[in-house]
């Protein structure tokens, strides 16, 4: 087994060789790190800028929005965008609850992919049995509340197509929480 002095010399020699080999690529690495840093900075700035949109047209059969419903979306830590269209002091669900809700879902291009309003009755489901964006978003309102959700792909169906929804789709919803069961 080499002495500690020999080990130190060996490590120093290897470091010098790595340094010499890396000289040519240092400027490329700096350029890439600079680009990555500016991309990360741009993403952080974009996430902090409020997202505005016109208030949605409500489907036939939906209850009213609050007159002071916000035009700005709030972004959660997970990346979910939401705005509460009707406040409620009702009980809020937990992720393990079953809920009864009316909803309409559409894609970025405006194409509707599902609507309980058109089916003529609210849907019941386990809150932990739906896409993560719904599970998170519905816990932000109480019974009687209404929320608009913009669900990024990683909180929706991700890279998997689902019942006519293309892979990596951002999902949009208006949801009225009718009842916690």
Q: Name the residue ranges covered by the structural domains of the chain.
A: 1-49, 51-180
Tell me if residue 46 falls in helix, strand or coil: helix
What pLDDT score was predicted for residue 2? 46
What pLDDT score was predicted for residue 57? 86
CATH topology of domain 51-180: Chitinase A; domain 3 (3.10.50)
Contacts of 177 (CB under 8 A, 6+ apart): 88, 90, 93, 99, 100, 101, 138, 141, 142, 143, 144, 145, 146, 147
Task: Please give the backbone phi and psi of residue 84, each rounded to the nearest 5 degrees, phi first.
Answer: -85, 115
Regions of the chain short of the pLDDT cut 50: 1-30, 33-34, 38, 45
What pLDDT score was predicted for residue 13? 43
């Amino acid at each position: 087994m080499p002495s500690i002095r020999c080990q130190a010399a060996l490590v120093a020699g290897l470091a010098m060789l790595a340094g010499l080999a890396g000289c040519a690529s240092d400027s490329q690495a700096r350029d890439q790190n600079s680009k990555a840093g500016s991309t990360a900075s741009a993403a952080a700035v974009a996430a902090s800028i409020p997202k505005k949109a016109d208030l949605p047209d409500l489907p036939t059969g939906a209850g009213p929005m609050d007159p002071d419903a916000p035009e700005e979306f709030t972004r959660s830590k997970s990346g979910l965008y939401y705005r509460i269209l009707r406040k409620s002091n009702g009980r809020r669900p937990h992720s393990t609850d079953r809920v009864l809700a009316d909803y309409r879902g559409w894609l970025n291009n405006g194409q509707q992919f599902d609507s309980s309003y058109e089916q003529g009755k609210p849907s019941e489901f386990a809150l932990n049995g739906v896409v993560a964006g719904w599970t998170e978003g519905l816990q932000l309102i109480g019974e009687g509340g209404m929320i608009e959700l913009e669900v990024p792909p990683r909180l929706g169906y991700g890279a998997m197509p689902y019942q006519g929804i293309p892979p990596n789709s951002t999902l949009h919803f208006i949801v009225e929480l009718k009842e916690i069961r």
